[in-house]
Structure 1
């Protein structure tokens, strides 16, 4: 009598078959089957149907993911103003205390240096410094180099502030002797160094415009200058004042006379900076008329306003550089 398999025996047979050791296949044939298995017509272990399903799945998955990212980015950019930073003044990383910069700067290979060193009698020797200044001042000389410059320029003064959307001009063409045509006076061993206050969106300077209310640590010659301006000018000279001095007593002796062009500071009508089309930062050209030659002179320049703090360590409110003329 023929034996009939019970359900239990069928289950045991299926179990043993499932966990049976697979047949041993030669490595060469196994590698060949990886790329194409004629038995089940699979490629890399998947049949055409399996590749189609997984292809559709990942196409939909990454499509949805890309759409979500695109929607999030679109929503994020709707909250941004291309001309106004999201975080300003106290809320920003820059803060409310502007730094002071100088030009020209040493070559890129000496990027950490602050030494202006050249020989005034050799053109090739001072050429880097004059070329660097010419490049830096290019946007001030050529209106087309800054988008919109020339279209919304307003001739400002202390009584005429720029209307909304317009910017004040910075006319450097008449700043003798600190002009390109005069080699910025480098060939006469009396170089010009240009100062620039870093831009902080929305920052409004608090001016020292009363000679009777000046800080005790302000240089005496600057105090005298402000007092003279107060006597000769009818309007208030709302200005961020500038001073450049030798850092040490010996430096103060060797620095010689210093002139500031066009005035001794940054006029207040350039502020606040609102990233208007064509805006250019105001400049001050510092002309060192007769610095001692053959000696390194340590120079510190400071910007003066009630809300400018001076800190050499953090390089805010002031700038340091050295001058050496052979």
Structure 2
């Protein structure tokens, strides 16, 4: 009985044991590796074995696809199409909106060459595109810092400031003239105190300064963003903007701009900046339109 059992096992094993590699010329061995007429195998497998392998992988990947589709379907069903699941402090973005200045520059600085009439064309084109949705809005543009005057470039360039959009964020205004922060500039404090109603003082204020104290700045549209609308998911209203103009730029300088509200956190660190935009303006040699020579 033992001998008969061993013979059967050996027979079954023989079906699965690979034969020694074929001998003979190199091309003959390669041909047999591709198709072996003795075993009727292709690439080392018989049709039966190929059928088992193909069936296994078809079932395996079908199950994976079904699991993936189930997970994605469950995820999509859990999402709200009209708003993100997490907002403000619960989101990765947080509740402190960034301050952005236009125009933007790939090199990190705005280069003005008074000897080259086309040196600022890219900035004017960028501002024209950015300002296009605001052209018909009476809140924006009062003859200055608009397409008609090339946004002041190159002699008195303008910067357009805005807050980055955060869903459900609402500003907490500095609208109590008696308790404004001590670091507010005197001219802004005086401006706020001269306003007569809380509605006029309930604004997001703009404050820019030249870090090198060379250039005088002015706000041709006023010192604040227009009436603020809370950002809602799916809302179509535009980000409010405010303009600041540099009067007669004749030297390279660095402009820092803040938009002021109690819940816009200002961190002046260059590694983790927040609450401000910093713009480097590099003026190269040339002669402004007024004839003043730049050294």
TM range (shorter): 0.7 to 0.9
SS in 2 for 1:298: strand
Q: Is the 8 A contact 2:228 2:240 kept in 1?
A: no
Match of residue 244, structure 1, among 205, 208, 211: 208
After superposition, give the CA deviation of every residue in 1:68-110 in whole Å (9 maximum; x if it has no partner).
Answer: 101110110112223322221112222111121111122x3x1
SS in 2 for 1:265: coil
After superposition, give the CA deviation of every residue in 1:20-55 in whole Å (9 maximum; x if it has no partner).
Answer: 984752243332122111112111122222222322
Alpha-carbon distance between aligned partners in 2 of 1:133 and 1:220, rounded to the nearest angstrom: 31
Deviation at 1:10, TM superposition (A): 8.2
Residue correspondences, number: 278
Match of residue 256, structure 1, among 199, 216, 232: 216
Match of residue 213, structure 1, among 158, 171, 179: 179
Match of residue 116, structure 1, among 96, 110, 113: 110
TM-score, normalised to structure 1, is 0.76
Question: Are 2:263 and 1:269 aligned?
Answer: no
SS in 1 for 2:156: coil
| CA 186–22 in structure 1, closer or farther in 2 if over 3 Å, else same | closer
Alpha-carbon distance between aligned partners in 2 of 1:83 and 1:96, rounded to the nearest angstrom: 19
* Partner residue in 2 for 1:199: 165
SS in 1 for 2:204: strand
* Partner residue in 2 for 1:278: 236
Alpha-carbon distance between aligned partners in 1 of 2:53 and 2:268, rounded to the nearest angstrom: 63
* Partner residue in 1 for 2:39: 40
Matches within 5 A, 1:136-175: 136-141=130-135, 172=140, 174-175=141-142
Alpha-carbon distance between aligned partners in 1 of 2:112 and 2:239, rounded to the nearest angstrom: 28
CA RMSD of aligned residues (A): 2.9
TM-score, normalised to structure 2, is 0.83
Alpha-carbon distance between aligned partners in 1 of 2:262 and 2:21, rounded to the nearest angstrom: 88
Unmatched 5+ residue regions in structure 1? 1-5, 143-168
SS in 2 for 1:124: coil
Alpha-carbon distance between aligned partners in 1 of 2:198 and 2:7, rounded to the nearest angstrom: 110
Match of residue 25, structure 1, among 23, 26, 29: 23
Q: Is the 8 A contact 2:111 2:119 kept in 1?
A: no
